[in-house]
Chain A
């Protein structure tokens, strides 16, 4: 689990998961989109409490390794200001076969969104800004 305020180097990160036992690699990228709930989004800021985000992210990856038959898994999340189109979060999983890699990848991103102390503030084209609530997590 890594937190960075720099661009996520996806090719480099995915290469770190390569190994001779793996026949499948599944990844997820979360991108900054230009709209949310009817508002035009100009940019976005992530606040991260790193000590617990890293610890909890490692816990999630360990849980995925126990729950699914995978070889390696990794997650990188951005902090700070991001522009539209940038990659905010990357999850990569390698396994012998695709089924467990797909399921583990979904498990990791779902848990990361709900459990890590990370907060998103959107800056809108009309000059307003606002903290975003995770609807999925709020309903749990």
Chain B
């Protein structure tokens, strides 16, 4: 079943996607599947193992399940400090 997910992008992901967020229709079950789908759409080539993902403002593991209406945030490799 299709779900409508609100996806947000940061830093280099935002620049590559050309937007800071979008409503994304998907049949993906997990945030990892959604990320793989989105990587193809926007041409992200950062290794997934160096990226992080949050759902509804909490960091989550890549196997976290997504539900219709979830807010998913994709973080490219960080570089604070």
Contacts and interface: CB of A to CB of B under 8 A. Distances in A.
A76 to B, nearest CB: 12
Contact of B78 (A51, A88, A118, A121): A118
Contacts of B81: 30, 77, 88-89, 109, 112-113, 118, 134
B79 A134 contact: yes
Interface in B65-81: 73, 75-81
Given A56-B59, A131-B11, A137-B50, A49 B73 contact: yes
Contacts of B50: 133, 137-138
A120 B76 CA distance: 11
Nearest to B75: A117
**Size category of the binding interface on chain B:** 10 to 19
A112 B81 CA distance: 7
Contact of A118 (B54, B57, B73, B80): B80
B12 A119 contact: yes
B11 A119 contact: yes
Contacts of A124: none
B59 A133 contact: no
A133 B48 CA distance: 14
Contact of A116 (B58, B76, B77, B80): B80
Contacts of A132: 79
Nearest to A131: B12
B10 interface: yes
B78 A115 contact: yes
Nearest to B81: A113
Interface of A: 30, 46-49, 51-53, 55-56, 77, 88-89, 109, 112-121, 131-134, 137-138
24 contacts: A30-B81, A49-B73, A49-B75, A51-B57, A56-B59, A89-B80, A89-B81, A112-B80, A112-B81, A113-B81, A115-B78, A116-B80, A119-B79, A119-B80, A120-B79, A120-B80, A131-B11, A131-B12, A133-B50, A134-B77, A134-B78, A134-B81, A137-B77, A138-B50
